[in-house]
């Protein structure tokens, strides 16, 4: 039985927390969320790839032994992933499967061997909605995760992240391992990845529009037909949902985090064009894929189990993201 939203089970004022991917887009927001809960700066450890290759078992074991010296970690929040947009997924299916699968396997097993659950600790795993079947009923409900095969362009990544959930469930059954499994919808916000070769749709469109505006281009070119729809969640809202799961969950019952709306990519492009002030036209490259036809999540479980709902409206979130990118343009 999953826990219901009550006060936190974690004494955050004393908690030592490992946040993989903590220096990244979502990680920065999670760090701020932990600080708001009273976690001391010295008690948040961010493993960097140059020091800890989490796809390597020995390096992962070393992380648990060394992160806090002689002290032990209380909460592991696993955000790190190798991921990108449709093009990046098409170019790197093997790497995306291996890296994401290996990181989860190593982190979970080494946490078990380190005695995380025995001392009352928890492991928080972020999944991906890429794990949902390509033609899952709308809105996506957690019970439908195994009702079909994921959309082909990101299936290796999605299956690897879904397998981590199954590992956590198996470890709960055999070892009593305490964990949570969170499925955020497409995220956006300040500090996102704006690299045109590996970014997701919102940062890619923002950068395209702003750079086209600066060059006085007559058009921007967008992938696909624009007919697919997506749901987007502001990064600060996602971070709060993840930390709320760390507060109250003890088993990996999958929980969606979403904003309870969807928008067609065509309408998204037009909105970003409007908010950035780009005056040129929009051309659609129909030779490129649309990806999964629709994405919209049911968030009833998050409201029930976590007491969580998104707070930032979509247009307000886009304005904040555009403002941040203008102040921090990619080199």
Cα(first)–Cα(last) distance of the chain, in Å?
A: 49
CA torsion 91-94-96-98 (nearest 10°) is -170
The answer to whether 145 and 158 have CB atoms below 8 angstroms apart is no
With DSSP H G I counted as helix, E B as strand and the rest as coil, what are the percentages for the chain, rounded to 5? 45, 15, 40
Report the C-alpha gap between 62 and 202 in whole angstroms.
37
Q: Is 298 helix (H, G, I), strand (E, B) or coil?
A: coil
Q: What residues have CB less than 8 Å from 68, skipping those under 6 apart?
A: 16, 43, 45
Residue pair 317/259 in contact by the 8 Å Cβ criterion? no
Residue 157 catalytic? yes
Write down the catalytic residue from 64, 132, 157, 181. Answer: 157
Measured CA distances, 202 to 5, 100, 129, 247, 310 (Å): 32, 23, 16, 30, 18
| Nearest by Cα to 257 from 183, 161, 179 | 183
CA distances to 15, 37, 48, 178, 249 from 7, rounded to whole Å, are 15, 12, 32, 17, 11
CB atoms within 10 A of CB 157: 27
Catalytically annotated residues: 157
């Amino acid at each position: 039985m999953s826990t219901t939203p009550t006060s936190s089970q974690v004494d955050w004022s004393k908690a030592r927390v490992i946040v993989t991917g903590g220096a990244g887009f979502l990680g920065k927001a999670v760090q701020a969320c932990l600080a708001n809960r009273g976690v001391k700066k010295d008690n948040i450890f961010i493993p960097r790839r140059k020091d800890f290759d989490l796809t390597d078992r020995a390096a992962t074991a070393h992380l648990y032994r060394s992160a806090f010296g002689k002290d032990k970690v209380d909460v592991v929040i696993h955000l790190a992933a190798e991921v990108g947009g449709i093009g990046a997924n098409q170019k790197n299916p093997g790497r995306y499967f291996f890296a994401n699968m290996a990181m989860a396997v190593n982190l979970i097993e080494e946490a078990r061997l380190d005695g995380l659950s025995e001392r009352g600790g928890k492991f928080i795993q972020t999944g991906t909605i890429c794990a949902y079947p390509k033609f899952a009923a709308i809105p996506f409900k957690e019970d439908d995760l195994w009702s079909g095969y994921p959309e082909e362009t990101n299936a290796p990544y999605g299956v690897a992240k879904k397998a981590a959930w199954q590992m956590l469930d198996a470890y709960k059954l055999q070892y009593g391992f305490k964990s949570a499994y969170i499925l955020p919808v497409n995220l956006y916000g300040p500090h996102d990845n704006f690299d045109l070769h590996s970014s997701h749709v919102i940062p890619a469109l923002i950068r395209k529009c702003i750079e086209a505006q600066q060059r006085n281009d007559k058009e921007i070119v967008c992938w696909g037909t624009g007919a697919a729809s997506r749901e987007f969640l502001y990064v600060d809202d996602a971070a709060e949902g993840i930390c709320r799961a760390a507060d109250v969950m003890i088993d990996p019952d999958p929980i969606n985090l979403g904003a309870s709306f969807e928008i067609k990519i065509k309408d998204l492009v037009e909105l970003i064009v409007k908010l950035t002030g780009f005056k040129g036209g929009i051309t659609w490259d129909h030779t490129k894929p649309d990806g999964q036809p629709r994405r919209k999540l049911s968030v009833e479980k998050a409201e029930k189990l976590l007491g969580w709902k998104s707070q930032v409206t979509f247009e307000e979130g886009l304005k904040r993201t555009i403002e941040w990118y203008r102040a921090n343009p990619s080199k």
